[in-house]
Structure 1
Amino acid sequence: MRHGKRFLALLLGIFTAAGLLAGPGTAGARPESTSAPDWSGTWSASVMRAGGGLVPNWSLEGFENQTVRQVVRVSHGGAAVRIRLSNVYGHAPLTVTGATIARSAGGAAVRPDSLRHVTFGRSPSVVIPAGAEVASDLAPLRVEQLGSVTVTVYFAEPTGPATFHADARATSYRAAGDHRADHDGNAFSDTTRSWYYLSGVEVAGVPAPRDAVVAFGNSITGGTASTPDANNRYPDELAERLAAGGRPRPVLNAGISGNRVITDCVGEKALTRFARDALDQPRVGTVIVLQGINDIGFSEIEDFPCSPNPEVTSAELIAGHRELIHRARARGIEVIGATLLPYKGAFYYSERGERVRDELNRWIRTSGEYDAVVDLDRHLAAPADQDRLDPAYDSGDHLHPSDAGYHAMAEAVAPLVACPRPLDAAALTR
């Protein structure tokens, strides 16, 4: 009985801190309140404007009188949960008629006893202004470490083109009509491998401050070529590795396939999106930067996948990395640099590009400007040709790692993030 009272007291405290017992919530570009220290990110997706490239998706057509069900695996557990929905790239206000969250039962099904209706300022619906993001109220659902949760959102009114994440490596589901409270997945006959509007899941009741890790990068961070629905992206593998070692930390994925450092292409360039996708995440203490290969590779291909594709130099990329380091340090956040993986044989490989990659990697390794460095180039290189991915880690396109390669990346990163580094008192109050 004492354990039950303790849990109820904890939950009551979380409800009060989150404002659910004190008044309505607010919507904004990134909602903040006195409850912010009680929330920690446990899953994230970096969003982008609607588009038809990369993988088939529903972003351009949007939704009307349709329900979208999305399954995500969290990296860290908590006593309660809330979701973030983004209309950052919307051209008009987005009406969310209603939403639910539940523990996954496989595919589009959910566990009936776990289904919770999500509210926004105590209302089942919310209107998200164009260019904004909203956090829901607290939902009293205990979330288990490395557990899968299902977020279901119903759109009664036309949404227009959807803010989304293209290459999710996970199946999302769509049904005609309102099926947000369905337990089985029978109505969800349409599928895609993108995420829509869902930009984050956060948990309450996590004791450690500023311990979240953000993996910031492109498709190699996003997990392209990993097995769909298997959660084998390197940030997923990193969360597993930390949990198995008895030092779990929330790990958030801020990768976008095709993303570049200094030029907009697929998703806004890293210099533009770094604050929103990495530094503004709740309780972030460490950011791992793995960026630059697309700047190098796409500059060798005219009009693909977007234009312009300026020829990039190592000096320009180093300047971009320095800016990311400066911004993280200004926020009291540890920043780890990752060397670019070998890519010889990839569709956009060139000898000139290889020289730029070598120069950037040499700077990352030797400059001392990053707080720490993980040398993924050397960890994943082929023994017989250091410019190629090891065949044991190559997905087959000579650019993206296989599941085994992503596992090897996580093994290399884990020792650097096994313990959050101490931060000064001023940084902890942010």
Structure 2
Amino acid sequence: MTTTTTWIAAHRTAVLGPHEDVQLFPSRSFTDQTVRQPLRLAGGGEALRVRLSNRYGTAPLEIGGAHLATRTRGSGIDPATDIPLTFSGTATATIPAGDELVSDPVHQPFSAGQELALSLHLPGDTGPTTFSPVAHDVGHAAPGSRLDAEVLDGAEEFSTGHLLAGVDVLAPADTRIVVAFGDSWIEGAATTPGADNSFPSQLGRRLDRGWIVNQGLSGNRLLTDGIGEHLLARIDHDVLAVPGVSHVLVHIGLNDLGLPGVIAHPEPAEGPTAAEFIAGLTTLADRLHTAGLTVIACTLGTYQGATYDGFDSAAGQATRAEINAWLLGDDHPFDAVADTAAAVADPAQPARIRAEFNAGDGLHVNDAGAKALADAVDTTLFKL
């Protein structure tokens, strides 16, 4: 029997604009450099294509060449696996401002968990690039065109992700894809770079069918732009346009409650009320359900004692408690709710992250905490 195959997301990276008024995470530029960035496939297939993004660029972006290879260590690649990528049959391309670019397919097998390195030669001055705050691992930039170099000797390192939006694989059409959607608890801020230990990654290793792609964005909010477009505005591009999506796992809200205490004018002086936030979550669920997706929400994480001045407030904590009580009740619109807040809470002080899970700032979890979050989600929900 022949299995029908189709293009399905195997890696995703949510991106920010470099020119936002609020820049908790600044972007950077590249000029006549080879930029090599690692990525790990959540799932495999019989072919692969790469997505590049100039979505928030203000000028066309010139790609002087692109290669893909198996990563070894640091900036190293296995030269025997090096593959030049093409775009509509050519080795070079220009991505218009506000647009994305998909490579031609590479027709060979790729496997789940495979770690690759994408090398881009950026011959001009890119200006501040479309980027993501949390990269899979440290990237490297070296002068000139060194796309097939085994190691980028003398390269500078950077910890943000640039221009890479995702990878698709040609896989069975009935593969189930979960989009993990939300903030830094989804993106994996404060987990070990390169260890693949974010909450979605550790949850994905528990699935016996399909896989999870990560569309978390540190600093993101449900209702307010500023650190990326707000979550409701991201639905079309970051969820509905993801090929193969069947389920959505959502964690959002801590920045809605905490950032107004940290960021000055023109941000709102106060966070949303519980009623406003609940209305936003209801809109989120309704839009995703209308698209035929199964939606699992997470309770808003614990963050009392967060070390960022102004983030932790009595009003924010009261709103968080009210929202979580609603999520854990019978009136929410989601298909299920995972009590991830309780999974990492200090039993003696439930509004705080327990010490062994605290990444050190009181707001984010470490690798062990991310595993506790993953273990709190019932994997049978992804079989619905």
Q: TM-score normalised to the size of structure 2? A: 0.93
Q: 1:195 aligns with which of 143, 161, 168?
A: 161
1:160 is displaced (CA, Å) by: 2.1
Instruction: Report 1:109-128 matches (<5 A).
Output: 109-128=76-95
1:244-292: CA deviations, max 9, x gaps? xxx1422111111111111112111111112211221110001111001
Take 2:158 and 2:35, find their aligned partners in 1: how far apart are those partners? 10
Secondary structure of the residue that 1:413 maps to in structure 2?
A: coil
Instruction: Report 1:342-381 matches (<5 A).
Output: 342-346=302-306, 347=308, 348-366=311-329, 367-381=331-345
Q: 1:412 aligns with which of 355, 362, 376?
A: 376
Contact kept, 8 Å, 1:325 with 1:370, in 2: the verdict is yes
Take 1:122 and 1:360, find their aligned partners in 2: how far apart are those partners? 51
Take 2:294 and 2:48, find their aligned partners in 1: how far apart are those partners? 26
For 1:319, the equivalent position in structure 2 comes to 279
Secondary structure of the residue that 2:125 maps to in structure 1?
A: coil
Take 1:414 and 1:145, find their aligned partners in 2: how far apart are those partners? 22
Q: 1:87 aligns with which of 38, 42, 54?
A: 54
2:350 is the alignment partner of 1:382: no
Contact kept, 8 Å, 2:338 with 2:378, in 1: the verdict is no
Taking structure 1 as reference, are residues 414 and 64 closer, same or farther at Cα in structure 2, changes over 3 Å only? farther
Listed as ranges, the gaps of 5+ residues in structure 1 are: 1-8, 14-36, 422-430
Secondary structure of the residue that 2:135 maps to in structure 1?
A: coil
Take 1:417 and 1:227, find their aligned partners in 2: how far apart are those partners? 27
For 2:13, the equivalent position in structure 1 comes to 45
Contact kept, 8 Å, 2:40 with 2:136, in 1: the verdict is no
Contact kept, 8 Å, 2:38 with 2:136, in 1: the verdict is no
For 1:297, the equivalent position in structure 2 comes to 258
Q: TM-score normalised to the size of structure 1? A: 0.83
Instruction: Report 1:224-235 matches (<5 A).
Output: 224-235=189-200
1:140 is displaced (CA, Å) by: 2.6
Contact kept, 8 Å, 2:252 with 2:300, in 1: the verdict is yes
For 1:33, the equivalent position in structure 2 comes to none
Take 1:147 and 1:328, find their aligned partners in 2: how far apart are those partners? 30
Secondary structure of the residue that 2:224 maps to in structure 1?
A: coil
Taking structure 1 as reference, are residues 106 and 141 closer, same or farther at Cα in structure 2, changes over 3 Å only? farther
Contact kept, 8 Å, 2:297 with 2:334, in 1: the verdict is yes
For 2:182, the equivalent position in structure 1 comes to 217
Listed as ranges, the gaps of 5+ residues in structure 2 are: none
Q: 2:106 aligns with which of 139, 151, 173?
A: 139
Take 1:337 and 1:47, find their aligned partners in 2: how far apart are those partners? 22
Aligned Cα RMSD in Å? 2.1
Contact kept, 8 Å, 2:258 with 2:271, in 1: the verdict is no
Percent identical among aligned pairs is 35
Secondary structure of the residue that 1:265 maps to in structure 2?
A: coil
1:94 is displaced (CA, Å) by: 1.3
For 2:210, the equivalent position in structure 1 comes to 249
Take 2:259 and 2:72, find their aligned partners in 1: how far apart are those partners? 41
Instruction: Report 1:12-161 matches (<5 A).
Output: 38-50=6-18, 53-54=23-24, 59-60=27-28, 62-161=29-128
Take 1:141 and 1:408, find their aligned partners in 2: how far apart are those partners? 36
- Report the count of equivalent residues: 378
1:387-426: CA deviations, max 9, x gaps? 111222111211111110001111122524452x2xxxxx
Q: Which amino acid aligns with 2:232?
A: L
Q: Which amino acid aligns with 1:195?
A: G
Contact kept, 8 Å, 1:104 with 1:111, in 2: the verdict is yes
Greater strand fraction, Structure 1 or Structure 2: 2
